[in-house]
Amino acid sequence: MNNDFLTIIPEGKHKGMRLYDESKCGGEHVLPVEIYYLFQNAFKNSYKVFFLNCKPNHSIIIPKSDLEFLKTSIKSDDEKIYLQYIFSDNTLNIKDLQYNDILQICNLAVKNNNVGAYFIYPELVDNYYCFHLFLIVKDDFNLEQFLNLKFNIIKINSVIEYNKDTLTIPLMIKMFNLLDLQFKDYIIPHDDMKKTRPYNVLDLQEKKDLEDYYEYYFDFQKKNPNADITNLKNNIRELQKKL
């Protein structure tokens, strides 16, 4: 690998940090290298890394006009174009189905508390949309339970477990090549995010449940200063996980 754009700072208070030369590289260079180090850090902390290769599990066709839009890198001066573009019902249907698939992963991660992170890699396979998965998990992660999930968009084809030696920078460059990625990163400014996904954390029931329990917790402590509050703290942690 040619890494003349990257220097590891040898000493001082920033020793060990990665310094990128912007005159020699762009995001397509930085992203795979940073993902590589993220995975290596996971290995150092006794996590496992699985790659789930998937194939489409549906027959919904994304129209050509939508594909052309999704494959286009939108520059900052015309970023408002995403507000004007109207996606087809097929594409919106795929979006909803994918959301439900990802929600299953998230719910399982919260329930078992053994998934450190996951990355989705989108791709067209035989003209149908699907996504592949990288999972960073703890030792007690139940792969069989995960494989039994019923997804809408994907069907898991194969599973590869990587280690610190087999997960390499060249592999990450091949996997996360922004220049070749079929679906580009058209950027939605933070101020407009609510226009694409209405969301207010203050309205979440999980937020209200946690606040109500905090009120009960502090009131109980005040009235019972010598009581064992281990269970109360455990309940708070569970409510925090849900939120």
Smallest CA-to-CA distance from 50 within 142, 173, 182, 152 is with 142
The share of the chain scoring above pLDDT 90, in percent, equals: 41
**Is the predicted pLDDT of residue 184 greater than 90, yes or no?**
no
The answer to whether the CB of 123 falls within 8 A of the CB of 130 is: yes
Mark whether 66 and 112 lie in a shared domain: yes
193 and 216, same domain (yes or no): no
pLDDT band at 40 (very low <50, low <70, confident <90, very high): very high
The answer to whether residues 186 and 207 belong to one domain is no
**What is the model's pLDDT at position 175?**
83
Together in a domain, 209 and 184: no
Note whether 145 and 216 are same-domain residues.
Answer: no
Would residue 16 count as lying in a domain? no
Condensed to tens digits (0 to 9), the pLDDT of residues 112-126 reads 889 989 988 888 999
The reply to whether 103 and 136 lie within a common domain is: yes
| pTM: predicted TM-score of the whole model, two decimal places | 0.68
* Confidence at 79, pLDDT banded by 50, 70, 90: low
The answer on 194 and 140 residing in a single domain is yes
Instruction: Give residue 217's domain range.
Output: 203-242
190 and 82 in a common domain:
yes
Total domains in the fold of the chain: 2
Assess whether 185 and 229 both reside in one domain: no
Q: Are residues 67 and 180 in the same domain?
A: yes
* Alpha carbon distance 64, 43 (integer Å): 41
What number is the average pLDDT over the span 12-28?
74
Q: What is the rounded average pLDDT of the residues 90-119?
A: 89
Among 16-30, 99-113, 174-188, 204-218, the range scoring the smallest mean pLDDT is 174-188
Main-chain dihedrals φ then ψ at residue 133, nearest 5 degrees: -135, 135
**52 and 125 inside one domain:** yes
The answer on pLDDT for 107 being more than 90 is: no
